[in-house]
Structure 1
Amino acid sequence: VEEQQVDETDEQFEERVLNKRAYQMFTVVRQKLQQQDQLTLSEMCHRNNKKQAAQKFYSLLVLKKFQVLELTQEGAYEEIYVTKGLKFDNPVL
């Protein structure tokens, strides 16, 4: 369990924890994207409950923010595709 540092604000602590979770997600996605060109959110969340699926989706958004992954969707309620981003080979989280 992560603990908040003495000199760390609540916001900084939360961001550090979320970035750590995003990096853990990246290690899984990186392995899969070395074998195929793209993944879908639905295959990544297969057999997950709503909370787990939401956490994975949020981690993907964090990775997109850092340009590690690219997310595309044709339209509302359509499948979300996950592909390599500009900084996939050199992630900085």
Structure 2
Amino acid sequence: MGFCSRLGNSAINAQTKESLEQKLWKAANKLRKNIDAVEYKHIVLGLVFLKYISDSFEQLRYQIVAEKHSGRLKCVSEPSKGTEFLIELPVLQKVLAAQLECL
């Protein structure tokens, strides 16, 4: 559940949104510093492309692990402990099934 859904829509009014937008633009301008807008465009487009590739890879990984191999993807994240990604594949089942077919 996102931050906005926990607060409810009535808690975030137009003035707060405008203030947040101004702060975000101010922060972005500080990060951009003296880079010309034409050069900055290439950086932003590169990041958008990276996001697209990342999402495509995530979808393909899910199809391979979950749909093709009946596996599971699991992500465990704890503050100050890090993040752990687990991929579980039922390899033993296929080995046992192959052994049973030989009998």
TM-score (normalised: structure 2): 0.28
Structure having greater relative contact order (Cα 8 Å, sep ≥ 6): 1
More helix by share: 2
Structure label with greater radius of gyration: 2
